[in-house]
Amino acid sequence: MTRVAREVGELRRMLAPARQRSATIALVPTMGALHEGHLSLIRSAAASADEVVVSIFVNPAQFNDPADLLQYPRDVHRDIELASAAGASLIFVPDPDEVYPVGFSTSVHIGGVAALWEGVARGPSHFDGVALVVTKLFGMVGPDVAWFGQKDAQQVAVVRRLVADLNLPVEIRTGPTVREPDGLAMSSRNVRLSSADRDRAAVLHRALDFVKHGIMIRENDSDTAIAAGTDLLRTAGIEAEYLAVVDPDTFEPRPRLDDRPALVIIAARVGPVRLIDNEPVA
């Protein structure tokens, strides 16, 4: 039976037996509104750990737009049922005051990899807020391993930087992006798309593939491939906030490819909804 904790003390008491027997503890941090992408991470965690903790917390510290925070979809009862069915053994659902109590005044700042792309579009406080809540969750849960989705690739790079810089004893693993049949990356925000915008949104992944294959055809010329991908988006009436080829660890632009890994990244508004996605380049 899946247990639910709402306070840190309760969470730690529930995890104490597992810790005493040296069981492997995995954490899957989420903001709820669970979809198949989240569930695939929970299933992967359950396949390789003795105890799987799923956190459900809409983190106010990482939202630069108050309206976006208010509109973020929430259905905790549904999320608990889905997480339990996917293999979660303990679900942590704290209130904001439990995570950020009265008088809270600590911050975590990430430079470098957090400075570009999402760091520009959503402001420097976004990834600082991500780093803060992840640091807190690691301290609350004490996991051996934590799972994140590849769709949020820059966030994963930020968390890896955080873990390396602070010598946190947590292994970071990623699960592949889970997509709809037409290629749209699954996201909690997709439910806010109108029917027409949902159809248009599929072009984001087509643009990523267009750039990826264009780089290979045009002898690794990123700029030409990006221009062609941008034109494809415009045919659907979508203007990208950014469409770029980057290093997957530093997120620095990669004008030309070599034998190192690369990543095509995109962010765009489709109607009122802001979507992100990425695609590795072989």
CA 62 – CA 126 distance, rounded (Å): 4
- Residues assigned a catalytic role: 38
Segments forming the whole domain that contains residue 55: 3-175
Q: Are residues 44 and 152 in the same domain?
A: yes
pLDDT at 30: 98
The whole-number pLDDT of residue 215 equals 84
The span from the CA of 264 to the CA of 153, in Å, is: 10
Is 20 annotated in a binding site? The answer is no
The two tokens of residue 248 are 């997957």
Indicate if 170 and 45 belong to the same structural domain. yes
CB 201 within 8 A of CB 193: yes
Residues 196, 171 within the same domain? no
On whether both 254 and 171 belong to a single domain, the answer is no
> Which residues in the chain come in under a pLDDT of 50?
none
Spatial CB neighbours of 144, under 8 Å, sequence gap ≥ 6: 24, 25, 26, 49, 169, 170, 171
Place of tokens 């301290």: 139
Burial of 3: CB neighbours in 10 Å, binned 0-12, 13-18, 19+:
middle
Shared domain check, 157 and 39:
yes
Calculate the CA dihedral of residues 241, 246, 248, 252 and round it to 10 degrees.
Answer: -100
138 in the same domain as 11: yes
pLDDT at 67: 87
Q: Tell me whether residue 92 is in a domain.
A: yes
Q: Was 241 annotated as part of a binding site?
A: no
Q: Count structural domains, the chain.
A: 2
Q: Are residues 47 and 170 in the same domain?
A: yes
Say if residue 36 carries a ligand binding annotation.
Answer: yes
Does one domain contain both 168 and 192? no
Q: What is the CATH number of the domain that holds 126?
A: 3.40.50.620
Task: Let me know: does 107 contact 132? Beta carbons within 8 Å.
Answer: yes
DSSP assigned state of 270: E
Residues 170 and 242 in one domain: no
Among the candidates 119, 140, 175, a domain finishes at 175
Distance CA 134, CA 86 (A): 22
Q: Specify whether 202 is located in the same domain as 153.
A: no
Q: Burial, 219: exposed, middle or buried (Cβ in 10 Å; 0-12, 13-18, 19+)?
A: exposed
What's the rounded Cα separation, in Å, for the pair 172 and 131? 14
CATH number of the domain enclosing 241:
3.30.1300.10
Is 139 known as a binding-site position? no
Residue 119 marked as a ligand binder: no
Do the annotations mark residue 258 as ligand-binding?
A: no
Phi/psi of residue 17, each to 5°? -60, -40
CA dist list (Å): 212 to 85, 193, 262: 36, 26, 10
105 is in an annotated binding site: no
Question: Cα(181)–Cα(199) distance, rounded to whole angstroms?
Answer: 12
> Which long-range contacts link 251-256 to residues 24+ away (Cβ below 8 Å)?
251/113, 251/116, 251/117, 251/154, 251/157, 252/116, 253/222, 254/222, 255/222, 255/223, 256/220, 256/221, 256/222
Residue 228 lies in a domain: yes
The answer on 215 and 85 residing in a single domain is no
Residue 34, annotated as binding a ligand: yes
> What is the Cα–Cα distance from 17 to 50, expressed in whole angstroms?
12
Give the residue among 119, 115, 109, 91 at the shortest CA–CA distance from 30: 91
